[in-house]
Amino acid sequence: MTGVSLWPLYFWHLTEWYPGQTHARIMIDGLFGGFVLGFLGTAMPRMLSARPIRSWEVWPLVTLHLAMVFTFAAGKVFYGDVLFLLLLTGFFACVAARVAQRKDTPPPGFVLVGLSFLCVTIGTILAIMQNYREMDGFWVFLQRLLSYQGFVLLPILGIGPFILPRFFGMQSHHDFPEMLVPSGQWLRKALLALGAGALVIGSFVVEAKGWTRMGHAIRFGATLAYLLLEMPFHRAPKVQNPFGAAIRVAFAGILAGFLAVAIFPAYRTGLLHLTLVGGFAVITFVVATRVVFGHSGNLGLLQGRNRWVLTSVGLMLFAMVTRISGDFWPKIMSSHYIYGAVIWIIGVLIWSGYVLPKVLTMETED
């Protein structure tokens, strides 16, 4: 809500700086970054059969995260980038301590999670370096692609085959028995994930070189191929709840954004919101709902009609369309940016009202 509110504040002349970069930083590093670190901080120790991350380790990360968001919101991009790099460093330290004592191997798709952190770390360092030296346009553009897309797309592709089949009552082919030494089948799936990740990162380099159409076409093809191979939702049974439908809509949104930019590169920034909002954001909120309901002992509620899910996701998608339309009709751009922000905030508030109170409830064992 902080990230999108920067647009109304700017168009109402309550802030002076154009919020393009601060908005992007808050949404990627703040919103998606918070979910990525929260999910992995909870799941990785379990997958490694290591001790969980303790509260005395978590609170410094939370403090850095909040300070980073408010620093970006104040228009201080450089200091926000520094805080985000410190946040990543602290998180790496927490996970590295668990890896050193692991008794199990994480799912093979998590190779892509490692690549995503490599992307965002390099991207953040490049962003900080831009304040000390003038950089070629290639590196500036590559920094944004690594940070804004690589950091979110790669974890979705990496974690997706492990957790998302559960929404369709399917068995995950990335759920292996406990093993310290990876099996041959694990290695084959890890190599497939590594190949998909290499293609995605390669597409960033191609786009940064100025070949926008080709870069997005490669990204579309690599993402589609990996989804068909590792997350075959087209073979999944019909699910009588909105979560399965939302997952399908989200992946369609990711692919639609890449394809749309490949066809209409002149509207790249607006059309990418199909991927960022219709894809990344919807998946983020749906998976977060599943995790929160699961850890609070409310998994059974996911089988109901849950019309609030359709309402909140529908409002987010409507906000996305409103935001995109502003780029096609410049005369109404400011009003549509404002309407889109307000509609998005309403959708998030509805989601928050149903989900966030359950964060305070811990599942009890019989």
**How far is it, in rounded angstroms, from Cα 75 to Cα 346?**
24
What pLDDT is attached to residue 185? 92
Tens digits of residue pLDDT in 318-341: 999 999 998 888 888 899 999 999
What's the pLDDT at 364? 66
Per the model's pLDDT, the better-predicted residue between 74 and 361 turns out to be 74
d(CA 34, CA 221): 28
307-345 per-residue burial string, b: 16 or more CB within 10 A, e: under 16: eebebbbbbbbbbbebbbbbbeeeeebeebbbbbbbbbb
Give me the mean pLDDT over the 214-233 stretch: 92
> DSSP of 132-180, one letter per residue?
TS---HHHHHHHHHIIIIIHHHHHHHHHHHHHGGGGGT---TT-PPP-S
CA separation for the pair 103, 98 (Å, rounded): 10
Residue 96 has pLDDT above 60, yes or no: yes
pLDDT over 50 (residue 366): no
Work out the mean pLDDT of the chain and round it to a whole number: 91
Per mean pLDDT, which range of 13-22, 37-46, 241-250 is the poorest? 241-250
pLDDT tens string 266-282: 999 999 999 999 999 99
Q: Where are the domains of the chain?
A: 251-366
* Nearest CA among 285, 320, 281 for reference residue 306: 285
Task: Please give the pLDDT value at position 365.
Answer: 53
Distance, C-alpha 243 to centroid of its chain: 17
What's this model's pTM, rounded to 2 decimal places?
A: 0.92
How many beta carbons lie within 10 A of that of residue 175, not counting itself? 12
Average pLDDT over residues 236-265: 87
- The letter for the amino acid at 352 is S
- Note the pLDDT tens digit of each residue in 302-318: 777 888 999 999 999 99
Integer Cα distance of 232 and 160 in angstroms: 11
Q: What is the pLDDT of residues 148-180, one digit of tens each?
A: 999 999 999 998 888 887 777 777 788 888 888
